[in-house]
Amino acid sequence: MAAPIERGSRGTVDLGRSVARKKVVRLVETTLVMVGCPHLGRAVRVTSVKLHKLNRTDPGNSLKARSHDNTKEDGSDKINSPWSCFVCGTEESPWICLSCGLIHCGRYSNGDGMRHYESNDDHALTMDCFSYSVFCYKCDDYVAGDTIDRKIYNMRNTLQYHNSSRLSNKYMDEEAEDEDTERYDLGNEVKRYKYDEEEIGSVLEYPPSGGKQIRTRKRKLSPSHVQSKSLDSDERYAKGLRNLGNTCFMNAVLQALNSLETFREFMVMLPSLEYDDISKSTPSPLTPRYKTRRYAQCASEQAAEDTTMLAEELRKILIALSPNGSPSSCVSPDALFQAVWGLNDRFVGYNQQDCHEFLRYTLDQLHADLRRCRIPDDCAWRVASECAAEYSPTSSAVSLIFEGALQSQVTCMSCKMTSNKQDPFLDLSLDVHIPPSSNARSMIVSLTECIRRFFEKEQLEHCEEYMCGSCKERKPSTKQLFLRCLPKILCLHLKRFRWSHTSRGKVDNMVDFPICGLDLSQYVSPNSRMRANGCIYDLTSIVVHHGSGMGGGHYTSYCLRDGRWTHYNDSTVKVADTKTVLKQKPYILFYTRSR
């Protein structure tokens, strides 16, 4: 199992969710295995660091106030958020060092946490301030376990209590009315540092068992506490997705799909979906005269499969992500993830998955679900009209929006006779060709070159020679692909992961891609009617894989909506510009046909 990479998310892992099928539960129990870290005893030393002081301290035997560079002229903190990086001040992906209590940003933000560890070798363990997962830089993995005196347990409870008390309503504690009330430390343990109450102020912390709660006055939060400062006031409709435990692969795909206007509008305007029993192609098995235990088990599993509909859960997620959907700034895709678990064992557990594989499964399952449901005629004909496609009983919104057709033309090199075959596709997987050279790692590839190589003519190997109908024998032949039918949404998958001898590596080279005006007319079949229609595509969204391997790393997405680019990193949402998007290394690109 490849080591997962520290993720910059604010999600929590719900280990208590119920799963319909018992074998799914058994698989969960076997996949939730973390590393027993040998550095817990030496690297976890935080005991009594006050939450109010976490962003204003330096490592060492005593905590010092932050320098004047991080303080406003009026003496107030420059950073309003309780979780912000000590070095750069960003609120994205905050991690608290379990050795000194400083908060730094994760490696997929500005990487200050990694640099803090590199300059302090014994500060190896860090905890996500929102998901409460613990990561060890020395082990390069998430870790389980705790110290003998349960420092991690107390730290996790304190952070969780503080987050819930801060976010559950629009109030926070400002100061204690009774100065004689006992002060409580972060870990509820023996105090390691001492502070003057007048300097620190009182903070609502997790009280020890049997202790008294500090009584405080309340004041309303400033707008920056209610909504992340990453977005302007007119852009706050953008919502993130909570990470449920290495589910960034799913979140990135969902945000990319949500940015596709035709697809999103179709799903959102659908009524609640239910399977139409009349449309089932296979009859139900005959009920045995006596209901054996085996029959009851099979019937239970079949009932779970029949009642689990990915399309309905996806529809709910897209509605929740809409401006008029969930009032929360972050949506939790628990039900959708549970539906995926119940339908496909491949995605059971909390291991990192390939987002392209998840995308293909989602589209295939969505196509099957929609064909089994009664879709209102106005919805079906509307999406068919927007996609300039023909609606038929065998089609669905997935096939109308994403499906194209490739024409494979094989030509006999002796008599020039051609044979044509047509195959549908939902995406095109393109090789990232890097010629061997000394500067291969820094070589920049063009997306248009990847597309050209995909459609170029190739000579078939001897074992693949074409059985020519005219020559009546196998002859040397060539093969070339053409676009017979172009989809409304063109999905391009870059083959960045490949096997090399006995290991699997990643092609991490930059790939230049156009934002607007991707012209595919030269690859359209000569006799295709698509030559007269639109062959120009504009970029709508990309999915990026950060990291060195498929088994780990982190997925984020950049999406264009209403003329604005937005970066979705699980629950963190930030405005981006075109220059930032062009600097990314995409794994999947979604283009929309414009003309």
* Catalytic annotation, residues: 248, 554
Tell me the C-alpha distance between 404 and 375, whole Å.
22
Q: Is the dihedral of CA 288, 291, 297, 303 positive or negative?
A: positive
Q: Is 51 exposed, middle or buried (0-12, 13-18, 19+ CB in 10 A)?
A: buried
Q: DSSP secondary-structure letter at 514?
A: -
Angle (CA) 251-432-360 rounded to 5° is 35
Which tokens sit at 110? 């500005």
Q: What are phi and psi of 4, to 5 degrees?
A: -70, 155
Tell me the C-alpha distance between 359 and 314, whole Å.
12
Which tokens sit at 423? 């195959």
What is the dihedral angle through the alpha carbons of 252, 253, 259, 261, rounded to the nearest 10 degrees? -170
Nearest one of 367, 260, 258, 357 to 311, comparing CA atoms: 367
Nearest one of 226, 175, 179 to 204, comparing CA atoms: 175
Q: What share of the chain is helix, strand, coil (3-state, %, to 5)?
A: 30, 25, 45
Cβ–Cβ < 8 Å for 81, 224? yes
Task: Provide the β-strand partners of residue 526.
Answer: none
Which residue matches tokens 């698509």? 530
Tell me the C-alpha distance between 191 and 62, whole Å.
12
Q: Is 469 exposed, middle or buried (0-12, 13-18, 19+ CB in 10 A)?
A: exposed
Which tokens sit at 575? 């405005």
SS (H, E, C) 349-386: CCCCCCHHHHHHHHHHHHHHHHHCECCCHHHHHHHHHH
Q: Three-state SS for 138?
A: coil
* Residue 415, C-beta contacts closer than 8 angstroms, at least 6 positions apart: 468, 470, 471, 475
